Structure 1
């Protein structure tokens, strides 16, 4: 990613400060930059340590660290026989988090492997960005990093790792999958969005600088770059809908806490328990075992994915119900639970719609009437260019004194930034089309003034823009 050092450091400091403010038991934060492919050099950007007592954060890099600039290349920290395993390699290769909630049994503590001494309690979270956002739709020519066996990694995933967040905690204060790790995961997505926004801004800045140096002969390449940039900016609505998904999760949490209604979380956990406790009984049925493990993975993913009701219904119909039907038909392992499982599946189909039920919303009497009306209406909306004006209502809802959700200010900030980016796309498209029209017909009609000297082989004055 193209991001200036100072700007990246400021962004990382803001994120570390946000995490430490959100998590009282967090003591220190570090963010590492990862890339580019295939080198995947891991370099520590900055670290912040909270001073006990007054909460002041002290910034800087440790005097001695393998990850201080110039950092370590993928070949230096990846898993390899005969070398200590690193949590960094786990996060980068598998694109999954690593939680050291018991330092005495931390299998990826380098210190413990080399000297037998435990480190501390910490959590590491990869920051992911979609390949298509970063590289466009043509991914065939990407050069992927290799594991120690020579096999490319990341070919079968839609994402690349651009950074890793490491947060240290007070002893015995974290566990895998607890609230703290979920908060860090949520904020890692925001950091990914902010880094990609900075990358887009730097990319646009580079394109603008190139315009001051090019002449008429480079106009074709310029138009191509502008088109690619517009394509990359299509990520904005995905990022907006991800933030709206968070509001949807919080709405369903309100329903769960204050109505006692059965929701998808309870039902899915019940189905997961049925699988986890009896999958081992499928010995000798290898194909059914694969079906069961895939079903468990898809149910767990469904549990943490904030889908719209229509999407959730399709997920159940296409991924969950057919596999359960096959397991119940071809195996006797769940015979005594057959009716209960079938009943849960039927209730699950109804549960995914509960958040859109106005009668249910009216039961949340602890919320103001306007919040009860606006929150579900906006949270179950798929945003696109046509619905961009509705973001003003979302920002107004977040500003409502009766709207109490975690990280409200941060969500407002992110949505405001994404809205500003989305609003400039039509203007950029218009200007790009004018340039292409000139290239096609040789007419300067409708061109912005600052383009004309460039297309006459004269030095343009971009300051006039």
Structure 2
């Protein structure tokens, strides 16, 4: 859950970066334009099964609410939107000109996901330093599948730089600091829980467990208990959802 919130916040930062480029270069949001065109094309489809049309429209509109890294976003489009269009047109064939326009819009939609990485626009945007710009883009468009405190520290450091003129920079910085601290706390709790479970499974004594559970034994002035080496398959669920 915490990791999902972190990814959501980074997705929000991608959206803010792209909005900045839209405004700077007076360009339209091609993602929204493509979804609008697909919804318009869906409205003229001749089909005796309205549930198919409603489902496709729902999925297309849902995609507008997501901000995924480009590769993941393109895969989402292919699996959730493009595949539904293929099925719909297979069951209910439409005029060639309409089908061609549909697949043209799908192509525009997939291409739009890489807008924030457009090298021409990135080079032209000169409101921030080249070093800051390049590091910022490399971080917010990175695919990451697990909690990475080092990466978050780098993003937070960039957000603390007031020359990074994206909307809600300070709010996002505070939020990521809080989420990072919470994730680290949960990781420590998981580590402690795994250790205690291993002690129980390995026949640990009540005295040892009581000593470990005593909060006063975990202050810097106390010598901590050295955990028994865990088995190859630790018990617990990693923080990567």
Question: Which residue does 2:86 correspond to in 1?
Answer: 325
* Deviations 1:157-201, CA, capped at 9 Å, x for gaps: xxxxxxxxxxxxxxxxxxxxxxxxxxxxxxxxxxxxxxxxxxxxx
Q: Does residue 313 of structure 1 match 2:74?
A: yes
Shift of 1:247: 0.4
Instruction: Provide closer, same or farther for how the CA distance between residues 420 and 461 of structure 1 changes in structure 2, counting only shifts above 3 A.
Output: closer
TM-aligned CA distance change 1:379 to 1:334, over 3 Å: farther
Q: Does 1:441 align with 2:203?
A: yes
Q: Using the TM superposition, give the Cα deviation of residue 464 of structure 1 relative to its aligned residue in structure 2, in angstroms.
A: 7.4
Structure 1, unaligned stretches of length 5 or more?
1-234, 455-459
Matched residue, 1:270: 37
Instruction: State the partner residue of 1:400.
Output: 161
The answer as to whether partners of 1:398 and 1:408 remain within 8 angstroms in 2 is yes
- Alignment TM-score, normalising by the size of structure 2: 0.75
Determine if contact 1:292/1:323 at 8 Å carries over to the other structure. no
Aligned residues: 217
Cα distance, 1:352 vs. partner? 1.6
What are the Cα deviations for residues 384-437 of structure 1, in whole angstroms up to 9, with x where unaligned? 556221111111221222223333322222111111122234433333333234
Matched residues in 2 for 1:461 and 1:398: separation? 35
Q: Among residues 245, 248, 271, which one is paired with 2:14 in the alignment?
A: 248
Q: 1:462 to 1:299 in 2, by over 3 A?
A: same
Deviation of residue 262 (structure 1)?
6.3
3-state SS of paired residue (1:441)? coil
Distance 1:379-1:368 versus aligned 2 partners, 3 A rule: same
Q: Which residue of 1 aligns with 2:190?
A: 429
SS at match of 2:163: coil
Choose which of 114, 136, 139 in structure 2 pairs with 1:353: 114
Name the CA distance, whole Å, in 1 between partners of 2:71 and 2:212.
52
* Secondary structure in 1 matching 2:162: coil
TM-score, length-scaled by structure 1: 0.42
Aligned twin of 1:237: 3
Higher share in strand = 1
CA contact (8 A) 2:20 2:166 kept: no
Larger deviation, residues 433-442 vs 263-272: 433-442
Distance in 2 between residues matched to 1:241 and 1:362, nearest whole Å: 26
Unaligned runs of 5+ in 2: 220-241
Q: What is the Cα deviation at residue 290 of structure 1?
A: 2.0
Matched, 1:452 2:211: yes
Q: Distance in 2 between matches of 1:363 and 1:430?
A: 47
Higher helix share: 2
Using the TM superposition, give the Cα deviation of residue 453 of structure 1 relative to its aligned residue in structure 2, in angstroms. Answer: 8.8
**3-state SS of 2:127 partner:** coil
Alpha-carbon displacement from aligned partner over 1:50-79 (angstroms, at most 9, x marks no partner): xxxxxxxxxxxxxxxxxxxxxxxxxxxxxx
Cα distance in 1 for residues equivalent to 2:65 and 2:16 = 12
Counterparts in 2 of 1:416 and 1:262: CA distance versus 1, 3 Å: closer
Instruction: Answer whether contact 1:362 1:372 (CA < 8 A) is retained.
Output: no
Give the structure 2 partner of residue 298 of structure 1: 59
Q: Aligned in 2, Cα 1:412/1:337: closer, same or farther, shift over 3 Å?
A: same
Structure 2 matches for 1:89-108, cutoff 5 A? none
Give the C-alpha shift of residue 375 in structure 1.
2.4
Q: 1:417 aligns with which of 178, 196, 211?
A: 178
Cα distance, 1:407–1:383 mapped onto 2, change above 3 Å: same
- Structure 1 residues 334 and 316 mapped into 2: Cα distance closer, same or farther (>3 Å)? farther
Alpha carbons of structure 1 residues 429 and 339: separation in structure 2 relative to 1, 3 Å = closer
Using the alignment, how far apart are the partners of 1:367 and 1:379 within structure 2?
16
